[in-house]
Structure 1
Amino acid sequence: MNGALEGIKVLDLTRVLAGPYCTMILADLGADVIKVEAPGGSDETRGWGPPFQNGVSAYYLCTNRNKRSMTVNLKTEEGREIIRKLAHESDVLIHNFKTGSMEKWLLDYEHLKEINPKLVYCSITGFGETGPYKNLPGYDFIIQGMSGIMSITGTEQSGPLKIGVAMVDILTGLYSAVAIQAALLERVQSGFGQKIDMSLLDCAVGSLANVASNYLISGNVPQKLGNDHPNIVPYSTFRTNDGEMIIAVGNDRQFSSLCELLDLTEIAQHEKFKTNAARVVNRQELTEILEERLQTKTMDDWIELFSKHNIPCGPINSMDRVFTNEQIEARQMKVEMNHPQAGKVRLVGSPIKLSRTKVKMERHPPLPGEHTEEILQLVGYDGKIINQLKNNHII
């Protein structure tokens, strides 16, 4: 069975994380993704490490499977002409060059839509292509700070903290994949492509969800709550006698059941704790009562007990525990691929589970320019011209 996006051709001029993560999603779904780098390989993540496996960066491996690679020198007119030929044959072009770069090279949407009116053209930048910040560089860490994410992450003692993963890049990749597929669906009706202008800052602010809504409705600036939830209590981490666990009680019925299991039935009906709204106001007092009782048993003991009674809870797993977890293994969230340089590599699987058009792991994360010749041949370059391009350092 073919992939869901079989037949869709994607010209990928992105590097690092947000763009490559987007195009890996499309590639996992069956699209033919051509990753374009400068000769020798210009995706910075190829050199980010350690760790490396036989000289191949773990960071690079995480976002580049199921793609073909070609190298092209975009600083030359011959190189830019290659991109135009490929754009003519592509359904999607995606890039993350700084604002103005593609216009300078005449590879912007206005020029390429003349070559291919059906092209879906996606730009990913730090701040978007409009507004006073449009020419500024954007990095995940900086955007986490500017967007407000760091102001609500951490505690008063720790100060502001970034999320442990470059989550803004990941979110931007996800939003971009959604936008591209929406544009492809619309193209079925209109017959035309369109330009997509994606911004890391927009995606970060868009992901603030209830925290932003709380502020916009109340006018109260959210504070750092650590692992606490701003609107639900108890919904946090709690100390047991051998470590911390998560309890995520979402309603008054669950809270009453939790109190019964902890032999604290009297507090379930106390005015301070009877409703979620009251528990939010009296968060600290309730936390102290719960933790005193929780420290009488181990984390595993409590998780087993609570799970039997449908109390939402769980451990705080380290990476080694994550990837030996039976549920992770059952859902194929750890996969292996053979790589010509790195050997057998272990990668994170795809979370997308489709019943008919299943995600496939068919191509290893490519070496720089691994498929340049075969791709050029598809758009009419013969062996003689390809050799000339090589000799002139254009590919």
Structure 2
Amino acid sequence: MMGRVGLTPLEGIRVLDVTTSIAGPYCAQILSALGADVIKVERPDTGDDGRAWGPPFWHGEGTMFLSANAGKRSLGLSLRDPRGRDALLRLVDGADVFLQSLRPGLADELGLGSDALRARNRRLVYCSVGAYGHVGPLRDEPGYDALMQAAGGLISMTGEPGRPGVRVGSSLIDQGTGTWAALGVLAALLDRDRTGEGAVVDVSLYETAVGYIGYHLAGYLADGTVPHGQGTRFPMVAPYQVFATRDGELMIAGGNDRLFAAICGVVGRPQLVDDPRFRTNPERVRHRDELCEILEDALSTNDTAYWLDRLKDAGVPAAPVADTADVAESPQTEALGILQPLAHPAVPGLRLAALPVSFDGERALHRSSPPAVGEHTVEVLAEAGYGPEEIRALAAAEVIRA
């Protein structure tokens, strides 16, 4: 699959990214890959907190930061200094989107709240990325991905049966919240074309977590079911889980009666189809332990590759359990072109995941590598009308990093 820097539906849109960590930066990275000019506003001394999160590091650069900040320009600017805030306000006057994840209340304290900025620029789309949301008893509490996995119910239902819950291994809530923020911004920009005015978009980690347990919430509201860790089992369907083979592990999805019959045929247990314990999916779920013991006993007699070939020939969805190295080296990953090489002065051989979306068969690509702290300060301030002497004075006062 080829890639392209466009389709660029957001070309001409300027985004001020006043966020740190993952959720907000990931949103801004999406907008950049769709054509927006994203100015990342960072502390002039240390930059985004995510720059220091590691190991692992890649030639000294934090891999977590690299993964969420491609395609941006970095403005090293102190928001604690009135001169720094004045510079940011000048940029607000010509911006389309203001994206912030400051601690609750800080944006208003700094004069950067939605009311203040939209009074200056009525076309501005103002997006807040928060922890628990903008209302409610927890509105002023801070939050991170793992905290929201706990507060939002995910940890309680993740892990092995009878054991303490575990965190999902990726920053699922952060990246999901960043995706929702990008979707909200895009919707607000589309609406602005109709009304001529921007809007205030609010997203939060907690709301994302709640959204991700939607069918579990429906189940609880229906009959009081409270889910707990099931390992790799999908709680509403059987068989649908990872099974041990002779040399590894294999995920098998038997999502309906036809697929169950096919699985039974592949493993040489066709009699299970007419067993009254297993005739329908609800019966199979009720008798899951008995069923899965029978299937695993059969699957343990041969290797993963052997079973995978036969299950696929029978039309049964199945996949070996891959680790990160397997994914990075997978021919499917290579065919999709989702790992994008990017030229970076400090990180030779840099490759990052591009957007998981294609247009007309071509991957949407990042337009540049993640920036150094303050790499674009001078050019951004010059665009805002600052002269060379003013910029030098701000740098000497350590208001900016130039």
Residue 3 of structure 2 aligns with which residue? none
Residue 218 of structure 1 aligns with which residue? 223
Residue 159 of structure 1 aligns with which residue? 164
Aligned length: 395
**RMSD of aligned alpha carbons:** 1.3
Kindly indicate whether residue 255 of structure 2 is the aligned counterpart of residue 287 of structure 1: no
Deviation, 1:342, is 2.1
Tell me which amino acid in the other structure corresponds to 1:24: Q
Residue 23 of structure 1 aligns with which residue? 28
Kindly indicate whether residue 4 of structure 2 is the aligned counterpart of residue 12 of structure 1: no
In 2, Cα distance between equivalents of 1:356 and 1:161: 38
SS of residue in 1 equivalent to 2:238: coil
Tell me which amino acid in the other structure corresponds to 2:301: T
Residue 172 of structure 1 aligns with which residue? 177
Tell me which amino acid in the other structure corresponds to 1:65: A
Q: What CA deviation, in whole Å up to 9, does each residue of 1:299-351 have, x standing for no partner? A: 11101111122100001101111111111100012121111122331212221
In 1, Cα distance between equivalents of 2:261 and 2:348: 54
Kindly indicate whether residue 114 of structure 2 is the aligned counterpart of residue 109 of structure 1: yes
What aligned pairs does 1:347-386 form with structure 2 within 5 A after superposition?
347-355=352-360, 359-386=364-391
- Tell whether the 8 Å contact from 1:41 to 1:71 is kept in structure 2 after alignment: no
Q: What CA deviation, in whole Å up to 9, does each residue of 1:152-202 have, x standing for no partner? A: 101234310010011111111111111111111111111111111211111
In 1, Cα distance between equivalents of 2:91 and 2:265: 65
Of 72, 77, 89, the residue aligned with 1:84 is 89
- Tell whether the 8 Å contact from 2:71 to 2:370 is kept in structure 1 after alignment: yes
- Tell whether the 8 Å contact from 2:337 to 2:363 is kept in structure 1 after alignment: no
In 1, Cα distance between equivalents of 2:329 and 2:90: 46
Deviation, 1:129, is 2.0
Of 254, 259, 264, the residue aligned with 2:259 is 254
Segment of structure 1 superposing worse, 224-233 or 340-349: 340-349
Of 32, 37, 45, the residue aligned with 1:40 is 45
- Tell whether the 8 Å contact from 1:30 to 1:360 is kept in structure 2 after alignment: no
Deviation, 1:269, is 1.5
SS of residue in 2 equivalent to 1:320: helix
Kindly indicate whether residue 307 of structure 2 is the aligned counterpart of residue 302 of structure 1: yes
- Tell whether the 8 Å contact from 2:7 to 2:364 is kept in structure 1 after alignment: no
Q: What is the percentage of aligned positions where both structures have the same residue? A: 36
Structure 2: state its 5+ residue gaps. 1-5
Residue 330 of structure 1 aligns with which residue? 335
Tell me which amino acid in the other structure corresponds to 1:78: R
Q: Sort the Cα spacing of 1:282 and 1:159 in 2 relative to 1 into closer, same or farther, 3 A.
A: same
Residue 237 of structure 2 aligns with which residue? 232
In 2, Cα distance between equivalents of 1:291 and 1:384: 74
SS of residue in 2 equivalent to 1:160: coil
Tell me which amino acid in the other structure corresponds to 1:386: I
In 1, Cα distance between equivalents of 2:348 and 2:174: 28
Segment of structure 1 superposing worse, 356-365 or 150-159: 356-365
Deviation, 1:356, is 7.9
TM-score (norm 1): 0.97
Residue 201 of structure 1 aligns with which residue? 206
Tell me which amino acid in the other structure corresponds to 1:220: T
In 2, Cα distance between equivalents of 1:91 and 1:307: 49
Q: What CA deviation, in whole Å up to 9, does each residue of 1:216-252 have, x standing for no partner? A: 1111211221111111100001111111110011110
Of 125, 132, 137, the residue aligned with 2:142 is 137
- Tell whether the 8 Å contact from 1:3 to 1:358 is kept in structure 2 after alignment: no
Deviation, 1:357, is 8.1
In 2, Cα distance between equivalents of 1:31 and 1:356: 21
Structure 1: state its 5+ residue gaps. none
What aligned pairs does 1:111-130 form with structure 2 within 5 A after superposition?
111-130=116-135
Residue 93 of structure 1 aligns with which residue? 98
Deviation, 1:209, is 2.1
Kindly indicate whether residue 369 of structure 2 is the aligned counterpart of residue 344 of structure 1: no
- Tell whether the 8 Å contact from 2:338 to 2:363 is kept in structure 1 after alignment: no
SS of residue in 2 equivalent to 1:69: strand
Residue 277 of structure 1 aligns with which residue? 282
- Tell whether the 8 Å contact from 1:41 to 1:369 is kept in structure 2 after alignment: no
- Tell whether the 8 Å contact from 1:40 to 1:369 is kept in structure 2 after alignment: no
Segment of structure 1 superposing worse, 342-351 or 196-205: 342-351
TM-score (norm 2): 0.96
In 2, Cα distance between equivalents of 1:319 and 1:230: 25
